[in-house]
Amino acid sequence: MFQNLRWRLLLSYLMVMAAILSIFGTGVYIFVSRNLYRQLDKKLLTLAQAAAPSFTDVEIKGSRYLEQVDAVPWRDIFNRDQQSLEWFDAKGKLLASRGTLDLNFRLSVGSQTLERWQKPKQIRIYTISVFKDGSNPNQPNLEGYIRASQSTEDIETVQSQMLWGLGMGGMMALGLVSLGGLWLSQKAIEPIEQSFQQLKQFTADASHELRSPLTAIKASVDVMRNHPERIHPKDAKKLAAIASATAQMSHLTEDLLFLARTDGTVSTPVRDRIPIPLNKILQHLVELLEPFAQDKDVALQSQWFANLSVMGDETQLTRLFSNLLENALQYTPPGGKVILTLAKHNRFALVSIKDTGIGIEREHLPFVFDRFWRADKARSRREGGTGLGLAIAQAIAQRHGGKITVTSQVGCGSCFQIRLPTV
């Protein structure tokens, strides 16, 4: 039980950490990428601005000027393999260009990214307007445009390296976090486990300690009732009430002791497991409960569709089925029917206990296996029920690797199905 809780805690912890790490990684990636593009834009702007003074010469002499003049001011910052510079007149007509990038893209002032099919896949472009010298600053006289562009291959390489680095770093961080999480979840569970063990021990001890005084009361009451002549007629009823209350308390302490001993243990110890023929124990129970059914005027029918055995503990399995059969008989009014069937379904034995009783309300169904839960507390108490029968039945089924399910309809009846793995 706690192992399961520990894994769930660790998983939640890992999921939270993975979410934080991925948000952090994405943030770093976006921040660094934006900075790289901003730097590239600055570089392109500087290049375009450096090329602006040569605009008039380019306009007059065209690309001849660019071939002749080696000492152009932007020469040192221009990388002809990765960058490109273009001069346009005021109408957007290309005057000259420098560089190997082949751009066929509409002119637009400012920064842009051009996506392409061929390599380089992305080109960053920065276009500035060039104004005539001495023009009025309020009404500048447009001379043309200069467009500087560069492939973003370098940035993409840095980005993919960053993705790798962040991915690997994130994986390693998650690995370390899981180690830390294992230790933390262990530490977090320890106090819960301890108090659970203490509670379990307390319940077991208290139930165990109550057994002897209850046995003593029961023995004394039995002795007194064996000699009715010694009892004052007025006390006979009181004695009967004491006997009934004692029986109910013994039943409750036995149930509590059983639950306290089995709580937290996942399955029956291997040494206690032997093949148990289900037909035999069910037949035996039917014979045992037949007088009770006749008393209540309820027809108890059984149908065996297979001979099946399960590995387990005979006493516990008998208790599982008797709890369910007793319930079915108890909560079925006179004239009703209880049908017990045993069938095989794949590797499983399927025992179903169907009654035509009072049924359980739909919204109550999720609670029927809870400890001390009873639909009608007043009546169940009057009838001697403690509300532990189904909780015990479920604990036994789970210890045998099985499962109980219930379907019910108020006024029509209930059907409890038990699935147990066969030998």
* 59 or 255: CB nearest Mg ion: 255
| β 122-131/110-115 pair status | antiparallel
Q: Is 99 in the site for Mg ion (CB under 5 A)?
A: no
Q: Give the dihedral of Cα atoms 339, 343, 345, 346; nearest 10 deg.
A: 160
Shortest Å distance, C-beta 252 to Mg ion: 12
Q: Which residues pair with 145 in a beta bridge?
A: 88, 129
Select the residue whose beta carbon is closest to Mg ion and give its number.
389
Single out the residue of 194, 218, 198 nearest to residue 206, CA to CA. 198
Burial 84-118 (b: 16+ CB within 10 A, else e): bbbbbbeeeeebbbbbebeeeeeeeeebbebeeee
Answer for which of 10, 317, 414, 419 binds ligand ATP (CB under 6 A) is 414
DSSP label of 267 = S
Q: For the chain, how far is it from start to end, CA to CA, in angstroms? A: 25
Answer for which of 181, 336, 389, 413 binds Mg ion (CB under 5 A) is 389
| Residue 248: HSE in the Cβ half-sphere, 13 Å Cα cutoff | 14
Give the binding-site size for ligand ATP (rule: CB under 6 A): 23
Q: Is 375 in the site for ligand ATP (CB under 6 A)?
A: yes
Contact present, 264 and 304 (Cβ < 8 Å) = no
Answer for which of 358, 395, 396, 397 binds ligand ATP (CB under 6 A) is 358
* Segment interacting with ligand ATP, rule: CB under 6 A, options 125-133, 209-217, 277-285, 321-329: 321-329
Helix (H/G/I), strand (E/B), else coil: 365: helix
Answer for which of 327, 352, 356, 414 binds Mg ion (CB under 5 A) is 327
* Segment interacting with Mg ion, rule: CB under 5 A, options 160-168, 271-279, 336-344, 389-397: 389-397
Per partner kind, with CB cut-offs from 5 to 8 A, the member of Mg ion, ligand ATP, none near residue 423 is none
- d(CA 142, CA 91) in angstroms, rounded, equals 10
Shortest Å distance, C-beta 287 to ligand ATP: 20
Shortest Å distance, C-beta 249 to ligand ATP: 12
Structure-token match 């007025």, residue found: 234
Single out the residue of 355, 335, 328 nearest to residue 413, CA to CA. 355
Task: Tell me the CA distances in angstroms from 347 to 177, 202, 306, 402, one per residue in order.
Answer: 41, 39, 12, 11
Q: Between 378 and 397, how does the x/- string for binding to ligand ATP read (CB under 6 A)?
A: --x----xxxxxxx------
Give the binding-site size for Mg ion (rule: CB under 5 A): 2
Q: Is 149 in the site for ligand ATP (CB under 6 A)?
A: no
Shortest Å distance, C-beta 6 to ligand ATP: 30
Q: Is 331 in the site for ligand ATP (CB under 6 A)?
A: yes
Contact present, 47 and 77 (Cβ < 8 Å) = yes
Shortest Å distance, C-beta 247 to ligand ATP: 11
Answer for which of 166, 207, 355, 396 binds ligand ATP (CB under 6 A) is 355
Shortest Å distance, C-beta 180 to ligand ATP: 43
* Segment interacting with ligand ATP, rule: CB under 6 A, options 7-15, 106-114, 169-177, 353-361: 353-361
Output the 3-class SS for 370-411.
CCCCCCCHHHHHHCCCCCCHHHHHHHHHHHCCCEEEEEEECC
Burial of 4 (0-12, 13-18, 19+ CB in 10 A): exposed
Per partner kind, with CB cut-offs from 5 to 8 A, the member of ligand ATP, Mg ion, none near residue 313 is none
Shortest Å distance, C-beta 338 to ligand ATP: 9
Q: Is 373 in the site for ligand ATP (CB under 6 A)?
A: yes
* Segment interacting with ligand ATP, rule: CB under 6 A, options 57-65, 177-185, 288-296, 375-383: 375-383
Measured over the CA atoms of residue 374, residue 251, residue 287 and residue 241, the dihedral's sign is: negative
Single out the residue of 229, 403, 417 nearest to residue 340, CA to CA. 417
Per partner kind, with CB cut-offs from 5 to 8 A, the member of ligand ATP, Mg ion, none near residue 59 is none
- d(CA 167, CA 159) in angstroms, rounded, equals 12
* Segment interacting with ligand ATP, rule: CB under 6 A, options 28-36, 80-88, 123-131, 325-333: 325-333
Task: Tell me the CA distances in angstroms from 298 to 185, 291, 352, 391, one per residue in order.
Answer: 53, 10, 17, 25
Q: Is 374 in the site for ligand ATP (CB under 6 A)?
A: yes
* 147 or 374: CB nearest ligand ATP: 374
**Where do contacts with ligand ATP occur on this chain (CB under 6 A)?**
323, 327-328, 331, 355, 357-360, 368, 373-376, 380, 385-391, 414
**Where do contacts with Mg ion occur on this chain (CB under 5 A)?**
327, 389
